[in-house]
Amino acid sequence: MRLILLGAPGAGKGTVAELLIEKYGIVQLSTGDMLRSAVKAGTPLGAEAQGYMNRGELVPDSVIMGLMEQRLQSPDCESGFILDGFPRTIPQAEALKAMLSRLGLSIDGIINLEVPRGVILRRLTSRRTCSNPDCQAIYNIYTKPSKKEGVCDKCGSATIQRDDETEEAIGKRLKTYEEKTAPLIDYYRSEKTYASLPALDGREVYENIVAFLERR
Ligand code: AMP
Is pLDDT at 15 greater than 90 in this prediction?
no
Q: How far is the CA of 87 from the centre of ligand 1 (A)?
A: 10
Element (H, E) at 27: strand 27-30
Class of domain 2-26+79-215: alpha beta
Residue 158, classified by CB atoms within 10 Å of its CB into exposed (0-12), middle (13-18) or buried (19+), is exposed
Domain map (residue ranges) of the chain: 2-26+79-215
Residues 89 and 141: their CA atoms lie apart, in Å, by: 32
What is the CB-side half-sphere exposure of residue 127 using CA atoms within 13 A? 19
Q: How far is the CA of 193 from the centre of ligand 1 (A)?
A: 24
* Cβ atoms 16, 206 nearer than 8 A: yes
- Which residues are marked as active site? 13, 88, 127, 162, 173
Strands 127-130 vs 159-160: parallel, antiparallel or unpaired: antiparallel
| Total Cβ atoms within 10 A of residue 18 | 15
User: In ligand 1, which atom is closest to the CA atom of 60?
Assistant: 21
Span 144-199, pLDDT tens digits:
999 999 999 999 999 999 888 888 888 889 999 999 999 999 999 999 999 999 99
Give the model's pLDDT for residue 3: 98
With a 6 A CB cut-off, is 36 part of the ligand 1 pocket? no
pTM: 0.88
Residues 90 and 153: their CA atoms lie apart, in Å, by: 42
- For residue 54, what pLDDT band results from cuts at 50, 70 and 90? confident
Is pLDDT at 128 greater than 90 in this prediction?
yes
Residues 123 and 105: their CA atoms lie apart, in Å, by: 35
Q: Coil, helix or strand for 190?
A: coil
Residues 109 and 89: their CA atoms lie apart, in Å, by: 18
150 φψ region: left (φ > 0), alpha (ψ -120 to 50), beta (else) = left
Q: Coil, helix or strand for 115?
A: coil
Which of 149, 148, 152 is closest to 131 using CA atoms?
A: 152
With a 6 A CB cut-off, is 58 part of the ligand 1 pocket? yes
With a 6 A CB cut-off, is 53 part of the ligand 1 pocket? yes
Residues 36 and 49: their CA atoms lie apart, in Å, by: 9
